[in-house]
Chains A and B, each alone.
Chain A
Amino acid sequence: MDLNSLTIAATRSAIQEGKTTATVLAEAHYAKIAKDDPQIGAYLTLCKDRALAKAGEMDSLAAKGDQLPPLGGVPVGIKDVMVTRGVRTTAGSKILGNYVPPYDCTAVARLEAAGAVVLGKLNCDEFAMGSSTENSAWRPVRNPRDLGRVPGGSSGGSAAAVAANMAVATLGSDTGGSIRQPASFCGVVGLMPTYGRVSRYGLIAFASSLDRIGPLTKTMKDAAIVLRTIAGRDPMDSTSADVPVPDYVAELEKPVRGLRLGVAKEYFGEGLDAEVRSAVEAAIQKLAGLGCEIVPVSLPHTKYAIPTYYIVATAEASSNLARYDGVRYGYRAKDSHTLAEMYRRTRDQAFGAEVKRRIMLGTYALSAGYYDAYYLKAQKVRTLLTRDFEEAFKKVDAIVTPTSPTPAFKLGEKVDDPLAMYLADIYTVTDDLAGIPGISVPCGETKEKLPIGLQILGKHFDEATILRLGHAYEQN
């Protein structure tokens, strides 16, 4: 048995049946991390004591013959934007370089309550702002499939860790594509649930009306298991929805025959790589072969999604990041003479270039005289983008698109051109603005062996259908 390539269900049953132990599995993952992560850079902080304590707890349950919980003994990693009590949490930023949170993020607490073994915290773009993980203040992450290329971002560490078998599953966060795009670049599954499906309590805020937590996994079934565990109303987040959580795993097995799949021409236009296009078209044909009906739909405002996103997201970010002032926690610049000077120097010295750029753009968009022209305008276009989906979903059950217009690009390729980097998210930002769920499903490789992702978008709170479609694709 290869201890490093198991799925969630296989891990749990191997421990339950005594073929291995949670402790052996955790150690095997730490050994793999010690061997391979110096090249990849997925992990920022390991929490071995916490992991081994949980593994020991699961092993005692299994030894007694008790039923293990759904993620009993499963080694997982957590993107470093989710706070973990007693374990350093940096959000990829120097400004939180020494921050040790006094509480746990709800999604992490729910995973651990279901038996998961948290190995450590995963590298990401600073405050989840980026599409390549090159904006991490600590080090860039390299794509395990090609070390010269980026893993995508901002959840680059979360995708790379799963792809390199350094975790069975991970949590990432998605504000503009940050779960799905890296999943696509690294050849793993990445699910962004509906806004409100998973509590944001303990998620370090980037853009609060967009931020979502979701799983990156090896299979659709694993994504269903993690979502079932972390989803549902949490009184600590008033935007978490009081909508019943279905049994996503049971839903996977329902037939896909007769489901109507929308294909929008706006997602197959200029800028789409030819190899990505043919892989995604082949995947759509395969779903048609399984009995799905392909229906052309139009999402006419798609070309306005990136400009809308970069106003809404940066405006919210400029407000959320005002809290980093060097007073209560985090980095503080030395030798300031006044409080105002201390604020400025602290933020100047500890925020990276992209974070400063977004704070500036957001502050500008909210400043007197520009609010109507930029922020209010973007909020109105957000309504139009959301209506596009509402119209389309009257005709179809799900929409299929490429996850990203290109496969993984080279390190350094886009760092000097912020706009080019923003355009890497062209097929993912609209879904964040509209609040709908989306999943990236591995659908083949380029000639250079770079993974390609098929994106399936669903209706609000209908993760079950997109998981089911992804599962049917994966199994056939």
Chain B
Amino acid sequence: MRVTEKDVAYVADLANLELNEQERVRMLRDLNSILEYIDRLNELDTSNVPAMAQVSARYGVDESKKSADRFAYASREDVLEGLRKSLPHHVALENAPDTDGTFLRVPKVIER
């Protein structure tokens, strides 16, 4: 077993999930089964292999430049107000579960 009940509780906490008792039991079983399968990656020696975070680095990159300049193809001139204007205030609030008409409203953050 790689993952313990304590790990499940800790990771759920990091992920802002609670999970009920039944879900925790199931999660423990599923994570262990999946991680056991994932362990086959350790058959490979990757000590000299660079990590690949994304595909875009494989095209359009100017290798003659350094750091961020290599990705010049993806940059643009700064535009006042951005490419798309910000949403009007009332539109930005339209989907909110709770507002006072001006601000988003949430339960209290600080307990006393």
Seen from chain A, the residues whose Cβ lies within 8 Å of a Cβ on chain B are 98-100, 102-103, 195-196, 209, 235-236, 238-239, 241-243, 301, 303-304, 306-308, 310-311, 318, 322, 325-332, 336-345, 347-348, 351, 353, 356-357, 359-361, 363-364, 367, 374, 376-384, 386, 418-419, 422, 434-435, 460-461
Contact = CB atoms under 8 A, between A and B. Distances in A.
A344 B41 contact: no
Contacts of B58: 386, 435, 460
Contacts of B55: 195-196, 209, 386, 434-435
B11 interface: yes
B63 to A, nearest CB: 16
B91 interface: yes
Interface of B: 3, 7-8, 10-12, 14-20, 23, 26-27, 30-31, 33-35, 37-44, 46, 49-56, 58-60, 73-76, 83-84, 87, 91-92, 94-98, 104, 106-109, 111
A357 B18 contact: no
B95 A196 contact: no
Given A328-B96, A330-B97, A364-B7, A348 B18 contact: yes
Nearest to B27: A360
Contacts of A311: 38, 41
Nearest to B13: A344
B34 A419 contact: yes
Given A336-B107, A356-B27, A209 B53 contact: yes
A275 B102 CA distance: 62
B80 to A, nearest CB: 15
A404 B50 CA distance: 30
A367 B94 CA distance: 35
Contacts of A308: 41
B86 to A, nearest CB: 11
Contacts of B96: 327-329
Contact of B106 (A304, A339, A363, A378): A339
Contact of B51 (A340, A361, A379): A379
Q: Which of B11, B76, B92, B98 has the most CB of A within 10 A?
A: B11
Contacts of A376: 51
Given A327-B106, A360-B27, A380-B49, A239 B16 contact: no
A310 B38 contact: yes
8 contacts: A243-B60, A301-B44, A328-B92, A339-B107, A348-B17, A348-B19, A359-B15, A460-B59
A98 B11 CA distance: 29
Given A195-B55, A330-B97, A356-B19, A384 B46 contact: yes
A342 B17 contact: no
Contact of A383 (B8, B19, B51, B59): B51
A469 B50 CA distance: 34
A336 B109 CA distance: 11
Contacts of A242: 60, 73
Nearest to B36: A419
Given A235-B76, A304-B40, A332 B51 contact: no
Contacts of B107: 336-339, 341-342
A338 B108 contact: yes
A301 B58 CA distance: 19
Contacts of B92: 102, 328
Nearest to A336: B107
A115 to B, nearest CB: 24
Given A102-B87, A419-B33, 19 more contacts: A195-B55, A239-B54, A303-B40, A330-B97, A331-B97, A332-B97, A336-B107, A342-B106, A353-B23, A356-B27, A360-B27, A360-B31, A364-B31, A367-B14, A383-B51, A386-B55, A418-B30, A419-B37, A435-B55
A380 B59 CA distance: 18
A318 B15 contact: yes
Contacts of A325: 16
A339 B30 contact: no
B78 to A, nearest CB: 12
Contacts of B35: 361, 364
Nearest to B76: A235
A377 B41 contact: yes
Contacts of B23: 353, 356
Contacts of A307: 37-41
Contacts of A236: 83-84
